[in-house]
Amino acid sequence: MFGGWAAIGAVAVAVGAQAPQVPAQSPGVLLDEQIRIVGSQTYQNLVTGVSRFSNGVTVYYGPTKITAESVVADRGKQTASASGNVIITDPEGTIQATDIELNWAEGSRRATAQNVRIELAGARLRAKSAVLTDTLWVFENIEGTTCGQNTPFYSIRSPRFEIVPGKSGTLVKPVVSLFGRKLLTLPSQRFNLDPRVQGIRPPNIAYRKDQGIGIAWNGQFLIDSQTAGAFDLGAFRGGYPNYSLGISRSFVSSEKTKAFITPRDDLGDRFNVGYFDSIELNSPNAGFRNLSNPRSTLAVSTQFNRGAVIGPSELSYSRPLDIAYELGGKSGSIGTIGQIRAQNIRAQGYPSVNRISMGGTAITDVLPVGKRLGVVGSIDAQSFLSQNQYGWARASAGLVYEPISQLRLGAATFLGKEFGESDFPADELYAKSGYALRADLTLGGLRARYMLKYDTQRKWYDREYSINQAIGCIEAFVLYRQYPQTYLVGVKLRVDQFVDLLQRKKFERTKPVPMKKTVISGG
């Protein structure tokens, strides 16, 4: 967003760098291979360094087009202004304002606009004013929606909207309207925009099959740019309260990774990054993209009365102390993640154990073997060193075929092997040898996915499906996984594109733009 407005600043810099000119009539001034400015009248003051373009001005900055009644640039002060129905048209979207002022001086970059209308990343916004810097965006008296109708299904209005790009946002006392009618006013809302932490969710009522109804609350939050805290609290009628507290320090700059700072939980779903592992992954290379993010994190946590994905659901675990180091990243067409842990762990009915655990995953990108056929593969392994010694390894390989763009079919086989005697049921390999079948279908606003898994011992042990139906600016969804047991149904707003924009710390184009040199004769 700031990048489109800053285009005027780039134009002004280039104008000031040209050889001195006298007032002139010109159909176009070519400043370099990307910048061209067209105005009925062009004037430059050789003493003050001020350039004026008036009587209808069009600026071409690469793929960005800016139109205004007049543009004034001061190279000495490193400021510029555009006035009179300013319209910025960019592959990312459109911005309109009555006036825009810019300062591109080092350390003082700032854009100010009045009476702003924005259509960007699927969202439509209106604001009385906007002030943008590299570190903070502020919109006053803003109203917005992601619906395309003249009377939108929903809209949100706020006297002030603050965004720290890529970090957080704050909506001051937002007013929610449905079909143009005010529904309710909420307290000021602060939300997370950093993809490396999940943010803090409100406490919610939850249901567990073995414990009944209760209250759960969890979240992740930044302590500084590379340190995160995490917590998970729960109280259920049929069980003891549970908690988890942890702190993690990443040694990878926030500019170089989008991976969660908090390491993966070894009591959670250990097979959740492969296309044939979880129906929640929407593409064959989603797991590879995830594990391609650099990771180097040291974490310390404590947990009490935690459940585990593997083993009896009523069996809970406590880890008074757990120290973990996680490392990962991309090597060619392979994404990797590995962990080493030192922990004290115990479970109901089992003795307390001090041990070291080591494990990791390597997953390939989609390797093409034909026009519409690709291969994916992965290797997983984990070992536990205590008085007992136990470990397992599993390899998987699959084929993905796209007969048409709307349909994707896949089949995979996996083979696992265990060694030694485990300390707890949660350590063990659940499915050891079998195969998986999957089909994905996309028809307009409908996305449907279905998967079956078979194990030679457990037979058909897992069935998973996901159905998403877009209806204008909302989306209805159903998600079911037999193992691990998951069932979600609901309706959500389609705001993914807009949230992705707000999560960017720097403006980067997401749409391909053809670039070519512009040649003007007689200009």
Q: Please tell me whether residues 116 and 203 are part of one structural domain.
A: no
Instruction: Give a yes or no: residue 172 inside a domain.
Output: no
Mean pLDDT across the stretch 229-258?
A: 92
Strongest mean pLDDT among 1-5, 50-54, 60-64, 249-253: 249-253
Residue at which a domain ends, from 92, 120, 148: 120
Peptide bond connecting 403 to the previous residue in cis, omega within 30 degrees of 0 = no
Q: Please tell me whether residues 116 and 216 are part of one structural domain.
A: no
Instruction: Give a yes or no: residue 508 inside a domain.
Output: no
Question: Residue 15 has what DSSP assignment?
Answer: H
Pull the structure tokens for residue 451: 């998967």
Q: Please tell me whether residues 209 and 333 are part of one structural domain.
A: yes
**CA torsion, ordered 490, 495, 500, 501, to nearest 10 deg:** -170
Instruction: Give a yes or no: residue 517 inside a domain.
Output: no
Q: Are the CB atoms for 66 and 7 separated by under 8 Å?
A: yes
Mean pLDDT across the stretch 429-444?
A: 96
Residue at which a domain ends, from 120, 145, 163: 120
Indicate the SS3 state at residue 427.
helix
* pTM of the predicted model as reported, rounded to 2 decimal places: 0.83
Instruction: Give a yes or no: residue 43 inside a domain.
Output: yes
Q: Please tell me whether residues 223 and 311 are part of one structural domain.
A: yes
Ordered DSSP codes for 268-315? S-SS-SSTTT-TT--STTHHHHHHTS-EEEEEEEEEEEE--SSS-TT-
CATH code, domain with 112: 2.60.450.10
Q: Which domain holds residue 16?
A: 2-120
> What is the predicted pLDDT for the residue at 189?
92
Q: State how far the Cα of 246 lies from the Cα of 230, in Å rounded to an integer.
A: 5
Angle at 293 between CA 289 and CA 299, to 5 degrees: 130
Q: Please tell me whether residues 90 and 210 are part of one structural domain.
A: no
* Residues 488-520 pLDDT 10s: 899 998 988 888 888 876 555 454 444 333 332
Q: Are the CB atoms for 476 and 494 separated by under 8 Å?
A: no
Residue 354 CB coordination number (10 Å): 11
Ordered DSSP codes for 62-101? TTEEEEESEEEEETTTTEEEEEEEEEEEETTEEEEEEEEE
Q: State how far the Cα of 107 lies from the Cα of 119, in Å rounded to an integer.
A: 29
Residue at which a domain ends, from 120, 148, 180: 120
Q: Please tell me whether residues 337 and 445 are part of one structural domain.
A: yes
Q: Please tell me whether residues 214 and 95 are part of one structural domain.
A: no
> Which residues, including other chains, have CB under 8 Å from residue 82's CB and lie 6 or more apart?
8, 57, 66, 68, 70, 71, 99, 100
The sign of the CA dihedral 263, 268, 274, 278 is: negative
Instruction: Give a yes or no: residue 406 inside a domain.
Output: yes
* Residues 346-399 pLDDT 10s: 998 899 999 999 999 999 999 999 889 999 999 999 999 999 999 999 999 999
Instruction: Give a yes or no: residue 384 inside a domain.
Output: yes
Q: State how far the Cα of 292 lies from the Cα of 313, in Å rounded to an integer.
A: 33
Q: Please tell me whether residues 115 and 223 are part of one structural domain.
A: no
Q: Please tell me whether residues 99 and 211 are part of one structural domain.
A: no
Q: Please tell me whether residues 229 and 95 are part of one structural domain.
A: no
Question: Residue 497 has what DSSP assignment?
Answer: H
What is the number of domains present in the chain? 2
Instruction: Give a yes or no: residue 145 inside a domain.
Output: no
Q: Please tell me whether residues 213 and 115 are part of one structural domain.
A: no
> What is the predicted pLDDT for the residue at 28?
54
CA within 13 Å, CB half, 391: 13
CATH code, domain with 467: 2.40.160
* Residues 124-137 pLDDT 10s: 999 999 998 888 99
Instruction: Give a yes or no: residue 189 inside a domain.
Output: no
